[in-house]
């Protein structure tokens, strides 16, 4: 006969997973954006020869940036798991939206890792690749990472719906973050136009499809991360597992429980 196994909530692990959100967004900002020279990204209408030269000149930083991003991208999955657990506290154990959120976050990692892998390979193999092949692979990375947006949209929609249903006097995640999620999803749809344009706002480097769609998502990730970290602390207090002061102490001075 199996003895009954106690099943306590592992708040420390939960908090750790919540903190992988900031690791993801800070890491990507530095490694993909700054080191990988993607602020701004190389334009879609850049000639094949200039693309080849870009990768030749920046071979080492791009290789470092992309290989780190391939590892850091997994933090989006673990962050998604932390969000999903918070959602279950509102939705209940049988809730479907928490599953969609976690699956969406996990699958979002796939195009990220594949695209970064492609850009890494261009840099790695630059001396044996023709300019046309560099251009093709560069486009391939963008098509994959951009056009997978609907998976991320499902994740964001699921989270927004559940957190808007939170009946607490002070919801775990404020309504404006949820509505910003809907804004993010709305900003994703024009990304479908990137195969058709190499210039203008709808090119993958364009005003809308890069400078609006990505920062909008980024703001959602940052704000959701902050409130999920706070939410785990609040849930720990609600469960009576810790006093407010203990949680504040544990969380440090950066983000305290309210």
Interacting residue with another protein among 176, 215, 239, 258 (CB under 8 A): 176
Give the Cα separation of 72 and 79 in Å (integer): 11
Q: Three-state DSSP class for 242?
A: coil
Closest CA to 54 of 117, 4, 126: 126
The reply to whether 208 sits near another protein by the rule CB under 8 A is yes
One residue of 29, 139, 182, 218 binding another protein per CB under 8 A: 182
Buried b (16+ CB within 10 A) or exposed e, 82-93: bbbbbbbbbbee
Residue nearer to another protein on the CB measure, 78 or 155 = 155
Nearest in space to 55 (alpha carbons), one of 38, 30, 79: 38
Among 178, 191, 224, 247, binds another protein (CB under 8 A): 178
Residues of span 5-34 touching another protein by CB under 8 A = none
**202 lines the binding site for another protein (CB under 8 A):** yes
CA distance 105 to 112: 11
Counting contacts by CB under 8 A, is residue 175 touching another protein?
yes
The residue (of 167 and 196) whose beta carbon lies closer to another protein is: 196
DSSP codes, 186-213: HHHGGGGGGGG-SSSTTSTTSTTTTTTH
Does position 187 interact with another protein (CB under 8 A)? The reply is: yes
* Residue pair 212/190 in contact by the 8 Å Cβ criterion: no
Scanning 10-18, 54-62, 129-137, 178-186 for contacts with another protein by CB under 8 A, the matching segment is: 178-186
Stretch that binds another protein, among 14-22, 83-91, 149-157, 193-201 (CB under 8 A): 193-201
Given the complex with another protein, which of 107 and 193 has the nearer CB atom? 193
Question: Should residue 186 be labelled a site residue for another protein when binding is judged by CB under 8 A?
Answer: yes
End-to-end Cα, the chain, rounded Å: 44
Is the torsion defined by CA of 196, 201, 206, 211 positive or negative?
A: negative
96 counts as binding another protein under rule CB under 8 A = no
Q: Does position 139 bind another protein by CB under 8 A?
A: no
Instruction: State the residues that interact with another protein by CB under 8 A.
Output: 164, 175-176, 178-180, 182-183, 186-187, 189-190, 193, 196-197, 200-202, 207-208, 212, 216
């Amino acid at each position: 006969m199996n003895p009954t196994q106690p099943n306590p909530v592992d708040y420390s692990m939960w908090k750790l997973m919540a903190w992988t959100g900031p690791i993801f967004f800070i890491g990507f900002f530095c490694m993909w954006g700054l080191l990988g020279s993607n602020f701004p990204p190389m334009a879609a209408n850049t000639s094949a020869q200039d693309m080849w030269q870009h990768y030749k000149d920046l071979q080492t930083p791009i290789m470092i940036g992309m290989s780190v991003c391939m590892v850091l991208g997994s933090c989006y999955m673990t962050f998604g798991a932390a969000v999903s657990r918070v959602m279950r506290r509102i939705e209940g154990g049988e809730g479907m939206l928490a599953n969609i959120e976690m699956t969406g976050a996990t699958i979002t990692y796939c195009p990220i890792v594949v695209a970064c892998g492609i850009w890494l390979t261009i840099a790695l193999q630059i001396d044996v690749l023709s300019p046309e092949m560099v251009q093709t692979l560069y486009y391939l990375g963008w098509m994959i990472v951009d056009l997978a947006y609907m998976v991320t949209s499902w994740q964001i929609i699921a989270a927004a719906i559940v957190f808007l249903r939170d009946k607490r006097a002070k919801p775990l995640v404020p309504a404006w973050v949820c509505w910003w999620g809907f804004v993010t999803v709305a900003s994703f749809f024009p990304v479908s136009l990137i195969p058709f344009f190499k210039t203008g706002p709808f090119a993958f480097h364009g005003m809308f499809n890069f400078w609006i769609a990505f920062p909008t998502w980024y703001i959602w990730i940052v704000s959701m991360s902050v409130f999920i970290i706070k939410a785990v602390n609040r849930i720990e207090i609600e469960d009576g597992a810790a006093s407010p002061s203990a949680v504040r102490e544990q969380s440090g001075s950066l983000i305290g429980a309210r």
